[in-house]
Amino acid sequence: MDTKDISGTADIEAEDRWAPLAKKHWAKPVKTRKVKNEVIKTELWDVLDQGNFEYRSLLILESLQLLENYLWPGYDDNSTNHHVLLIAIISTVKNREKLPVWDAFSNNPDRFSSMFRRTLSMCLDISLSTAVRTHLLSFLIGAFQSLDNGLVRKECAPLVSISIWQNLASESIREGHLERYTQLKKAWRASSKRYESAEAEVQARLRFERAWLFSMVLDFIGRLQVKGSENLVYCERFLEFLTDLESQLPTRRYVNTLLKDLNLLAVIRLSPMFNHQDNGLFRDLFVLFRHFVNFSIDDSTGIQFSRSQSYERHSEDLARLQRTALKHFKSKLTLLALANYGSIDQRSELEGHLSPLTETELSELCALLGFRTSYPSTAEVFVDHDLLMEVLVSAHERRKTFQETVRDLSTLPTEATLYEPTLLRNETYNGSRSLAIPKINLQYLSVGDFLWRAFILNRCESFFEVKRDVEEVIKRLQPRTGDSGSHTQFSGFSKMAIPITKPAIIEVAAPKVGMDQPAFVRAEIILDTHRLAESVRREWESLRPEDTVYLLAVQPLEDRNSLTNGHSRGIGPQNSGLQHLRTAEIVQLLDDSGRSIREMPRDQANGYTPRQRLRRMLVNIDAAQFKLDTERKAQGQKDIYESINLIVRRRGRENNYSRILKTIQDLATSDVPIPSWLQDVFLGYGDPAGATYTQLPNRLKRVDFRDTFLDWQHLVDSLPGKTIEAATEGNIAEGLPPPYILETNVAPVAQETRPSKKRRRGDVEPSQQLSTTVKVSTYQPPNTGPYPGDAPKLNKIRFTPVQTEAIISGTQLGLTVIVGPPAHSNQALNQLFQKIISLDIDERHLLRLGHGEEDLESDANFGKYGRVESFLDNRARYLAEVDRLAVGLNAPGAHSSSCETAGYFNSVYVRPAWVKYWDAVSESSNSSDYISAFPFYDYFADAPQPLFPSTSPLEKIIEIAKGCERHIDRIFTELEDIRPFEILRTQKDKTNYLMIKEARIIAMTSTHAAMRRREMADLGFHYENVIMEEAAQITEIENFVPLALQNPKEGELPLQRIILLGDHLQNSPIVQNLAFGPFANLEQSLFLRLVRLGVPTIELDRQGRARPSIAELYSWRYKKLDNLPNVLTEPEYMHANPGFRHEYQFIEVPNYKGVGESQPSPHFLQNLGEAEYAVAIYQYMRLLGYPASKISILATYAGQRALIRDVLGHRCARNRLFGLPRIVTTVDKYQGEQNDYVILSLTRTNRVGYLRDIRRLTVALSRARLGLYVLGRREVFESCHELKEAFIRLLSDRSDKLSLVTNELYGSCTRLVGDEVKHTEMTGVEHLGQYVYEMTKAKIEASKAGGQPLAIEASEDVYMEGDEEDEGGSYGNGDMAEAEPDKSEAIS
């Protein structure tokens, strides 16, 4: 099947072919759809078959809603096979495009069951072509990846049930498997009883179910002997299918036993298909399949075997082999029987020991060991000497564990690893073939299995990005042969690279104990930076220790045309000019005098910084690779380091991968557990609600909610459906004053008993109704001191019932998953941290790790070093208070010289004074006694007076005195906490102590957590609670690492609470490699997987960011999304947008100069008409006085973003009337951000493209608070099935021509949204352009006449996101504009 997709003429021609057919037969809605078989066969199937099922045609048919409007409504039991095949093929297209597949079938489960059964039957139909059966197999792969859907699960589960053991080689073998566990016997008996008691028709269906997979495998075995490209593709797909079955426990449990019984690994390994030299992908798929078949897990219980248990099982197999050999083949296998395990578990040794046996003897040995030695005649399996030998050897040879596999893979790239065939196949993935990479799906075999998959996929993704960046740098540098012909010169320029001479190896450290590679290899590199622009030089000088750089040996290409779009046409590094690549880690960057750059003072005179010529960079080269290079050199090969002539850097955020990969590698090779209460839910098994607090046995019964509830009515409103009781007697109608302590009791509701009824498969056990009673008590908060600053900061937000539910769940132990509407920010971590700062939490317990600390809008420094300085500042302040206390108590001495002397002062003077005071008044009931005896009047002289109001009752006086005592105690408690910072000498020790002992709330990104995981765990860092904001926007491994930043305590991680906040209805994590999103599903977050598994979620149901009318554009995506009061009452939401009739509008943009969308380079989509229109709207808004900082321009493609920037650069950048908008970026990069006004360019005019993913459109429509103006082609988007609901609301009854209102200016408009007003419609971009031109001309003339300068905000208020100024150097002309292909669009 051709899967190449190039938008343009071919798309238009295909649409011209299929669109009339759709219009004639299924475009119009009808009550009952009648399908004509001649249409199915002649006009659809035959045309597609002649075109080899061209993917472009299938995609257009899918977008024309062939499945939803014609194939499925017209399906019944009498439908033709071609009808069923088309349903399966179009469903596969939807699955590949990440569109909802199974929703279309949900309206009729019985019809779906019939269709699915027919699909299964056709998979075994040998009369169908191999290509057609490959399509059916792809459909089944999609089905088995969607077991979270009950409709699909019901059809798939019987195919992999215990009944397939009916096909095992013998009854004795089956009995041997059943004897392992009692539950297996029970399951087998239940299966047999069901078959025996069934009617003939049901028995036939059950026989088909238990024989289907067996028949498919036998057919596959037969195909292994057949040549042909179509057959190869089918076998690759089938291996993918079997691998998917093996990689999830519910489908693996019985399948693995059957496949092992068939000796499938041995059969494949000896097949002609496996051994053909051109079938590299098939061999790689076999390796992946073998990994899962042999994965060290108990298939029945799901328990992963430890390394020692795996070796014990391996040893038991060898012992059984030896016993059998000694008993039955003593004369020929005595040496085998007496050898130690280590000498016989290698393939070559085993083959040598078994070679004396004849074919008959090998067959007998296999039978004695329980291996199958005969196959059905239809299998075409020839059981000969080679196969029997392979069966025995493959079953008894020692295999690497997944931990050993991960350990042996390098986290640092070389030219060899960057250009591995597997990686290159991933890079060119187009969906037509399988890939030999693991998939992220619903379930994992174990935590180790998850980490292994994550490591493999993230390593491939990281190396792909490195390869792409390195090739781009080489392309820009334009290497050529020097004048002498002996060296390489660079005629181009890239600010990410500097030509160098060979690095000097200055130290090779001796290996550490137990290692065979150097501890480190230190090299010195000389950088000539004097010709670089100042900004580029500073970027190089800002490199930090532990940053990664790349040392390249580059030679010129003989044919410069071998590079296209920054990527090589060939499959080797030489096709890009790259000969060698080595990775190094920076140790230090020095100037030409040997001083550290980071410590060097900035010598400036009148703003001039003297430019220095050379920089010395000390780096540690990849030690493992250096050892291999040294060994090759000793064997006579060339010294690679002699040819290195270029150093390359990458941007910091992109270059953290090696430390992140190292963290995943460490986690995969060490048995780090996850909390036992979370494990089953994380792996995807058991009760999805099993980790929520309502299901955990250690649920907290009594919780102090402090200032969560503002009053009694707020409490009652926040707990709907619950019975609320006051713990104290009184009038419950009046309620109790806050704060509240809630004690929850849950009891089952008595229900009428019913006769027991036998449950059937698929039936859901009815849930038990529960009654919740909340007993409420209150207390008087303690007086914290007489100063205003002593008073706690109280919550003033009246939380909604759903917000309260989230707070209660998060307070309890267990897992909490909160789905939030579009109201978050990419700076969510800092915003969350700033809100925490404003709460009643002592700042000394707050810590912000990572570079984001500089972006905090706070005067205080919450980084590690800033917090240490804060402690020392507090020390001086508190010691000054000690001085004041000493004066007040008339205590001579240097009590404030240190925290230690302050502690002595407290114990000698302060505490005795309090004891004496309380003893003196202990028996008094007279307020005056408490007031007169108070010993600290002098100290509290600066507190609000009078300290003790004369009219206060005795209880109040006592509480004031206790508050004063608490204030003073807090001084000495703080000093005691600060004391270690006096003792610790180094800054590192102080920061480590701060993080381990003092910090209570630590904020960091998941990337920082992954980079510093080992360091934090080694420090003894422990925590009980994790809160992840934007959890749906990061990959699953990024979700996992923050859960494992500590070492276990007594074999268990001490995590008690995990709170995930996010929105899976918006964009998923961004994955660069085209293969890893659609095929491997790497873009799936833990958040989304938990939602798919059915883990209970709390869905926030109020939004307070956007106008209600704008929120309606996306609120339909959520179960019940309403508005908070602020968006209904605040003036900015009620008033109309000045100059616009509508607060949001879809604007039709026709072809501009006869052209709609264009594609100047592959996947670089642009639309000049929409770019001009977007800039014209921006100019119009600026002329009305809209601040540039409140306007964002978004595009759906990187090419359109670049074009809009170009237009802005020509029309606005240097014009003081306009300037630049706040940001110009893509929708994907703007997720989590917001602005008051958004101009959105949809770009496409031929077809919808990747916006068919409704998550992306949800992001696009939810970025604006007050105004949204969408530019697009109505006929393209309005007819899209997935976007229908959004565009019904977006178009509503409004014109699709931009409607403008005259005589209104920003800041002075009093018109309300919805008010009728006279308006002018723009007929197109030319009309709007002329309108803006005349406005601009009038404003300039008015300004000249009035003598007023043209105003614009300060430049720091506006910027262009992602812009990178081209910095020229002596060896180049400047970086070219980046062409970012859209990753999703590139595979369509």
Q: What is the C-alpha to C-alpha distance for residues 1351 and 1337, in angstroms, rounded to an integer?
A: 15
Mean pLDDT over residues 336-345, rounded?
A: 89
Question: What pLDDT shows up at residue 870?
Answer: 86
- Res. 739: pLDDT tops 90: yes
Please give the Cα distance from 525 to 590 (Å, whole number): 10
DSSP strand E in 1073-1120: where?
1098-1099, 1102-1103
pLDDT tens digits, one per residue of 1148-1202: 999 999 999 998 887 789 999 999 999 999 999 999 999 999 999 999 999 999 9
Handedness of CA 621, 625, 626, 629 (dihedral sign): negative
Q: Which residue has the tokens 């005259």?
A: 1302
Distance between CA atoms of 220 and 444, rounded to whole angstroms?
Answer: 26
Per-residue pLDDT tens digits for 958-971: 999 999 999 999 99
Rounded (10°) angle between helices 1198-1211 and 1168-1183: 50
193 has a pLDDT exceeding 60: yes
Q: Does residue 841 have a pLDDT over 90? A: no
Q: Are strands 1057-1062 and 1098-1099 parallel, antiparallel or unpaired?
A: unpaired
Residue 455 pLDDT:
95
Alpha helix (H) ranges present in 262-384? 264-269, 272-275, 280-293, 307-328, 330-338, 341-344, 347-354, 359-368
Q: Which among 1261, 1238, 1257 is positioned nearest to 1248, based on CA atoms?
A: 1257
**Does residue 739 have a cis bond before it (omega within 30 degrees)?**
yes
pLDDT at 1385: 34
- Give the model confidence (pLDDT) of 19-69 as tens digits: 889 889 988 878 788 889 999 999 999 999 998 999 989 988 998 889 999
Tokens of 1210: 């020509």
At 733 the pLDDT is 59
Residue 762: what pLDDT?
40
Read off the pLDDT of residues 453-508 as tens digits, 9 standing for 90 and up: 999 999 999 999 999 999 999 999 999 887 766 788 899 999 999 999 999 999 99
Q: Which of 61, 57, 55 is closest to 3 using CA atoms? A: 55
Residue 716 CA, chain-centre distance (Å), reads 38
- Whether 103 and 95 have beta carbons less than 8 Å apart is answered as no
Per-residue pLDDT band at 1313 (split at 50, 70, 90): very high
Rounded to an integer, the average pLDDT of 581-585 is 95
Query: Residue 894 above 70 pLDDT?
Result: yes
Confidence grade of residue 1325 (pLDDT, cut at 50, 70, 90)? very high
What are 605's two structure tokens?
Answer: 């005179």
How far apart are the C-alpha atoms of 287 and 285, rounded to whole Å? Answer: 5
pTM of the prediction? 0.89
| β partners of residue 481 | 488
Compute the radius of gyration of the chain from its Cα atoms: 36
On average, the pLDDT of the chain sits at 87
Q: For residue 421, what is the enclosing H or E element?
A: helix 421-427
User: In angstroms, what CA-CA distances link 1374 with 496, 650, 1198, 1202, 1265?
Assistant: 11, 17, 20, 17, 39
> Strand order of the sheet with strand 702-704?
702-704, 740-748, 770-778, 723-726
Three-state DSSP at 819 gives: strand
- In the chain, count of helices (H) and strands (E)? 53, 32
Answer yes or no: are the C-beta atoms of 235 and 282 closer than 8 Å.
yes
pLDDT (tens digit per residue) in 57-93: 998 899 888 999 999 999 999 999 999 999 999 999 9
Whether the per-residue pLDDT at 631 is higher than 50: the answer is yes
Ranking 142-146, 555-559, 1231-1235 by mean pLDDT, the lowest is: 555-559
Q: pLDDT tier at 112 (50, 70, 90 boundaries)?
A: very high
pLDDT beyond 60 at 1382: no
- Count Cβ atoms below 10 Å from residue 134 Cβ, excluding itself: 22
* Dihedral sign from CA coordinates of 1264, 1267, 1269, 1275: positive
- Give the model's pLDDT for residue 1188: 95
Give percent above pLDDT 90 in the chain: 64
What pLDDT, on the 0 to 100 scale, is given for residue 548?
94
Q: Would you state the pLDDT for residue 1239?
A: 97
Q: Assess whether pLDDT exceeds 60 at residue 1233.
A: yes
Closest residue by Cα to residue 459 from 409, 424, 425, 400: 409
The Cβ-side half-sphere exposure at 325, using a 13 Å CA radius, reads 23
Bridging pattern class, strands 1264-1272 and 1144-1148: parallel
Exposed/middle/buried for 501, CB within 10 Å: 0-12, 13-18, 19+? exposed
Measured CA to CA, the distance from residue 647 to residue 650 in angstroms comes to 10
Count the neighbouring beta carbons within 10 Å of the beta carbon of residue 173.
16
Contact 1067, 1259 (CB under 8 A): yes
The type of residue at 545 is P
- CA 456, 461, 462, 463 torsion: positive or negative? positive
Residue 1250, pLDDT score: 81
pLDDT, residue 10, reads: 44
pLDDT in tens, 797-806: 899 999 999 9
At 751 the pLDDT is: 53
How far is Cα 50 from Cα 27, in angstroms, rounded to an integer?
24
Nearest C-alpha neighbor of 298 from the set 256, 331, 258, 262 = 256
Q: Is the pLDDT score of 759 beyond 50?
A: no
Mean pLDDT of 760-771: 51
Q: What pLDDT does 1269 receive?
A: 97
pLDDT range class, residue 1369, cuts 50, 70, 90: very low
pLDDT tens by residue, 918-950: 999 998 889 999 999 999 999 999 999 999 998
Helix, strand, coil shares of the chain as percentages rounded to 5? Answer: 50, 10, 40
Determine the Cα–Cα distance for residues 646 and 580; give it in Å rounded to an integer: 10
Residue 120: predicted pLDDT: 97
> Rounded mean pLDDT of 516-528?
93
Choose the weakest-confidence range: 143-147, 847-851, 977-981, 1023-1027.
847-851
Q: What local confidence, expressed as pLDDT, does residue 563 receive? A: 40
Q: What is the pLDDT of residues 354-385, one digit of tens each?
A: 999 999 999 999 999 999 999 998 888 889 99
Q: What angle do CA 1168, 1174, 1178 make, to 5 degrees?
A: 145
The DSSP bridge partners found for residue 1147 are: 1271
CA angle 550, 473, 640 (to 5 degrees): 40
- The CA distance from 17 to 1154, in Å, is 23
Whether the Cβ atoms of residue 462 and residue 583 lie closer than 8 Å to each other: no
DSSP 608: B
Q: In the prediction, which pLDDT does 1356 show?
A: 34
Among 1092, 1111, 1158, 1129, CA closest to 1312: 1129
CA–CA dist 9, 13 (Å, integer): 6
Q: Compute how many other C-beta atoms are within 10 angstroms of the C-beta atom of residue 29.
A: 7
Banded pLDDT at 15 (limits 50, 70, 90) = low
Band of residue 1354 on the pLDDT scale cut at 50, 70, 90: very low
> Confidence class of residue 200 from pLDDT cuts 50, 70 and 90?
very high
- Going 247 to 252 to 255 to 259, the CA torsion angle's sign is positive
Residue range 226-239, pLDDT digits in tens:
888 999 999 999 99
Residues of the chain with pLDDT > 70, as a percent, come to 90
Cα 658 to Cα 942: distance, rounded to the nearest angstrom: 57
pLDDT for 1079 beyond 60: yes
What average pLDDT score do residues 1357-1383 get?
36
**Among 1011, 1046, 1026, 1028, CA closest to 1085:** 1028
In whole angstroms, give the CA distance from residue 1218 to residue 1213: 7
Whole-number pLDDT of residue 1078:
83
